[in-house]
Amino acid sequence: MTQQSENTGDRAGGTRALAVALSVLAAAAAGMVFYIYGATDGVDPLDIVRSLLIFLSTWWLAWGAATALLGLTSRAKPRPSLTAPIRGRTVVIVPVYNEDPQVTFARVAAMDDSLRAADPSVPVDIAILSDTRDEAIAGAERIWFSRLLARQHGQGRIFYRRREKNTGRKAGNIEEFVVQSGAAWDYAVILDADSLMEGALIHEMIRRIEAEPRLGLLQTLPKVVRARSIFGRAMQFAAGFHSPIFARGLAAMQGRTGPFWGHNAIVRMRAWAECCGLPELPGKAPFGGHIMSHDYVEAALLARGGWTVRLDDDLQGSYEEGPENIVDHAKRDRRWCQGNLQHSKVLMAPGLKPWSRFVFIQGIFAYIAPLIWLAFIAASIAAVYWVGQPNYFPLENWPFPVFPNDETAKAVGLAVGVFGLLVMPKFLVLLEAIFSGRARSFGGAARAAGSVGLELLLSSLIAPVLLAFQSRSVFQVILGSDGGWPPNNRGDGRLDLADAWAAARWISLCGAIGMAATYVLAPVLLLWLMPVTLPMLIAPVLIAWTSRPGREQGFLVPEDADYPAILERHDEILREWGRAFESETKVA
C-alpha cells in the first residue's frame, strides 16, 4: 500500500469519526430534550419509547446533514491520471432486460462514436449482454444489432449475446460474461441500459485506473437527464444541484472503501474476477436466493480483497435517466428495499471491512426509518389517549401550543431542530452554489433559489406518499413477499387519475383512517398531523399531477441550456434510424 493510500485511509477514518460523533450528539440532544419535556408531568413508558424513536430518527437525519457539511467543507482532490499512452484493453458492458432495442442500441452507437472521436487508438470494445425474456423483443434485438454493426463497422469490436436463463439477474449476467470472456480485457465499464457516457470520460477513467495498480473500482456521479414530468424534473434538479455536494462528502467519508451504484463505473477485470463472485443466500426469497442489491456487496468484496473502491466526484460526462412518476419510482424502490433488507444476511460475512458492515447497516436503516416515524406518530396518539392530555391551547385565538411548566421553548426548539436537519443542508448548498458561481448554470441565483424552494415544497407534499409506498415495501419483505425484478418503464410516464387511483387508493384509505383515528383518539393532534395525513388522502391526485409535463414548472438544469454532445448524438442516431426504417417500410 502506498503512503498516499495510507494518508487517504487516515483522513477517511477521522472524517467518519467526526460524522458519527456529530450525528449521535444531535440525536442524543433531541432525545434528551423530548424526554425532559415528557417528564414534566411524570415519566411513563411511552415517554421513553418516544424519546428512543426521536433519537433514532434524528440520528438518520443528522447523518445526512453531516454528509452535506463534509461536502461543503471539502474540495475535489487531484487524482493520479496516466500521462503515457493507454496500454490496457477495455470493454463497455451494457446489460439489457426487455428494453427497447432501437433506443438502447442507439446509445451504444452514440458512445462508440464518442469513443472514436476522443481517440480512436484507445482499444475499447462494447458487449451487449441480453437477459431479455420476451421473444419478440429478443428478435428485435438481433435485427437492431445487425444495423448497429453495419452502421458502426463494429465487427470484432461490438458484441451481442443473449442468455437462455437469466440466473442471478444483472449480477449473474455480468458474472457469466466475466467467467467466460473476461480474460480478454483488463478493464470493464459497467453501464445500465439507460446509461450514456462521453468517450473522453471513459478514456479518463481508464487512465486513472491504469495509473493506480490497486484501484479496483472507480465510480462516477451520473447526472439525471431527459426528465419531462414535474416529478422527474424536480428529482433531476435535486440530483444535479445537491448531489455533487453530498457525493463529495460521501467520497471524503468512505475513502478507499467507497460505493458502487451498479453502473457508470469502471472496474479492474482481475479484481472483479478474484473477488466478486456472489453466493446464493440460503433460504427462499425475499431474504434468500440471489443477491438483488449486488452493487454494495461487490464493493464490499473488493474492499475485503484489498482493492481500493473510490468515488471521483469531479468526473463529468456520466448520464442516466430516472423515473418519470411516483409509481415507477416506488416500483424501483421496492426492488431496492428487498435488496437492502436482504443485506442482513450478508452483514456478518467473514473478512468484511468494518466500514462495509456499517454501510450495510445504513442501507437497512434507510428502509426502516419510515417505520420509526410511523411508530412515533402511533406512540404520540397513544400517549394522548391513554395517559391523558393537558390543555395545550389555554389562550383563546392563540394558534401555538403552551406546554406545562414552560416547556414550550424546548418543544419548539426540538421541532425546529429536527426540521432544520431536513432543510438546512439544502439551503447551505444553495448558498455555496450562489457564492461559488455554480448557480449560474441553474439559471442564476434567483432562479436557483426559486427551484430549491419549489423542490422543497414538492418533496414535502409527496414525502408522505413515498413514505407509504416504502413502508408497504418493508412490510411485504418482512412478510415474505418476493417483489421480483420488473423491467423499468421508459417513455413520458404520464398517468391519468384512474391509473393513479388504482395504484394509490390504499394510501388514500390509510390517510382517511389515520385522520379518523387521530380525531377520535387524540383530536388535539389532528392539525399537527395534517401535513402527513392530507397528502396521503389526496395521493392519487398528487401522483397524476406530478406525472404531467413539467418543463414550464421550472427546475432549470445546466443540460437544458448546454445539451450534452453524447445526448445530441444519440438523438441524431435515433432520427437517422427512424428515417431509414420509414423508408424501408414504404419500399416493402
Give pLDDT tens digits for 232-286: 999 999 999 999 999 999 998 888 999 999 999 999 999 999 999 998 999 998 9
Judged by DSSP in three states, 254 sits in helix
Q: Does 329 lie in the same domain as 304? A: yes
Confidence of residue 3 (pLDDT cuts 50, 70, 90): very low
Q: Does 218 lie in the same domain as 147? A: no
Q: Does 148 lie in the same domain as 52? A: no
Q: Does 62 lie in the same domain as 128? A: no
* pLDDT for residue 11 is more than 60: yes
Cα distances from 322 to residues 266, 325, 328, in angstroms, run 21, 9, 9
Average pLDDT over residues 337-364: 95
Give pLDDT tens digits for 318-335: 999 999 999 999 999 999
Question: Mean of the per-residue pLDDT values for the chain?
Answer: 89
Residue 264 domain flag: no
pLDDT at 396: 66
Local structure of residue 222 (DSSP, 8 states): P
- Nearest to residue 330, comparing CAs of 431, 517, 462? 462
Give pLDDT tens digits for 372-401: 989 988 888 888 777 655 555 666 666 556
Cα distances from 543 to residues 39, 224, 451, 477, 492, in angstroms, run 42, 20, 20, 24, 14
pLDDT at 397: 64
pLDDT at 386: 74
* pLDDT for residue 6 is more than 50: no
pLDDT at 555: 92
Q: Does 523 lie in the same domain as 587? A: no
- Using DSSP, how many helices (H) and how many strands (E) does the chain show? 18, 10
pLDDT at 493: 84
Q: Does 523 lie in the same domain as 583? A: no
d(CA 70, CA 55): 22
Give pLDDT tens digits for 70-109: 999 887 777 877 788 899 999 999 999 999 999 999 999 9
Cα distances from 403 to residues 38, 42, 417, 586, in angstroms, run 10, 14, 18, 78
Average pLDDT over residues 179-189: 96
Judged by DSSP in three states, 124 sits in strand
Give pLDDT tens digits for 17-53: 889 998 999 899 888 888 877 666 667 788 889 889 9
Cα distances from 446 to residues 425, 435, 441, in angstroms, run 18, 13, 12
Give pLDDT tens digits for 128-169: 999 999 999 999 999 999 999 999 998 999 999 999 888 889
Q: Does 49 lie in the same domain as 19? A: yes
Angle, vertex CA 337, rays to CA 331 and CA 340, nearest 5: 145
Cell triple for 299: 464493493
Residue 380 domain flag: yes
Pairing of strands 196-197, 318-320: antiparallel
Residue 583 domain flag: yes
Residue 239 domain flag: yes
d(CA 166, CA 179): 15
Which residues lie closer than 8 Å to 185 by C-beta, 6 or more apart? 88, 89, 90, 91, 125, 269
Average pLDDT over residues 178-184: 95
d(CA 13, CA 291): 29
Q: Does 544 lie in the same domain as 406? A: yes
Residue 66 domain flag: yes
Residue 469 falls in which region: left (phi positive, over 0), alpha (psi -120 to 50) or beta: alpha
d(CA 98, CA 117): 30
Cell triple for 188: 470493464
Q: Does 178 lie in the same domain as 217? A: no
Its pTM stands at: 0.90
Q: Does 137 lie in the same domain as 68? A: no
Q: Into how many domains does the chain fold?
A: 2
Give pLDDT tens digits for 272-285: 999 999 989 999 98
- Of all residues in the chain, the percent with pLDDT exceeding 70 is 89
Q: Does 87 lie in the same domain as 1? A: no
Residue 431 domain flag: yes
pLDDT at 472: 96
Q: Does 131 lie in the same domain as 64? A: no
Burial environment of residue 588 by CB neighbours within 10 A (0 to 12, 13 to 18, 19 or more): exposed
Residue 263 domain flag: no
Range in 55-59, 188-192, 464-468 with the lowest mean pLDDT: 55-59
Give pLDDT tens digits for 474-532: 999 999 998 777 766 766 789 999 999 999 999 999 999 999 999 998 888 888 889 99
- Looking up residue 166, the CATH number of its domain turns out to be 3.90.550
pLDDT at 30: 85
| Domain containing residue 282 | 1-80+213-258+270-348+355-556
Burial environment of residue 165 by CB neighbours within 10 A (0 to 12, 13 to 18, 19 or more): exposed
Residue 523 domain flag: yes
**Taking the CB of residue 418, how many other CB atoms lie within 10 A of it?**
18
Local structure of residue 437 (DSSP, 8 states): T
